[in-house]
Structure 1
Amino acid sequence: MRHRTDWLSLLAGLLFIGIGIRYLVRPEPDTLIMALVLVFGIGFAGFVGIIAKAVRKR
């Protein structure tokens, strides 16, 4: 049995993996930019999740 993709969780996970890799490559923190990337990235993931749910209901 297959289940539907949870786009919010997938994109949020990829965002956190990307942030983790960024800090492994360059450990010097740039807190303001990373906070903005995190906020807008989670916002984008939420938007995609809402759109996917709306399309699925049709």
Structure 2
Amino acid sequence: MPREPRPERPRRVHRTDWMSLLCGLLFIGMGIRYLTGPDPDAVVMAPILVGGLGFAAFVAILAKVIRR
């Protein structure tokens, strides 16, 4: 007995969440930096963290504006 073909289901495409992606990459990069080599100075890493989070937010806002 042959099987009936399944009806075609439209493919769902999810939009990229740029804020999450960039923040995740930032934290992975900082974690790798702490695991390899000598410990970096916290006075240097704190502004890099804040600047990276600000950049991720800026990109996320731009992506939201462009999508509309």
TM class, shorter-chain normalised? over 0.9
Unaligned stretches of 5+ in structure 1?
none
RMSD: 0.9
Q: TM-score, normalised by structure 2?
A: 0.80
Q: TM-score, normalised by structure 1?
A: 0.93
What residue number does 2:13 align with?
2
Unaligned stretches of 5+ in structure 2?
1-11
What residue number does 2:3 align with?
none
Task: Specify which structure has the higher proportion of helix.
Answer: 1
Structure 1 vs Structure 2: percent identity of aligned residues? 63
Runs ≥4 residues deviating over 3 A: none
Q: How many positions carry a matched residue from both structures?
A: 57
Task: State the AA in 2 paired with 1:19.
Answer: M
What residue number does 1:52 align with?
63
Q: Rg larger in 1 or in 2? A: 2
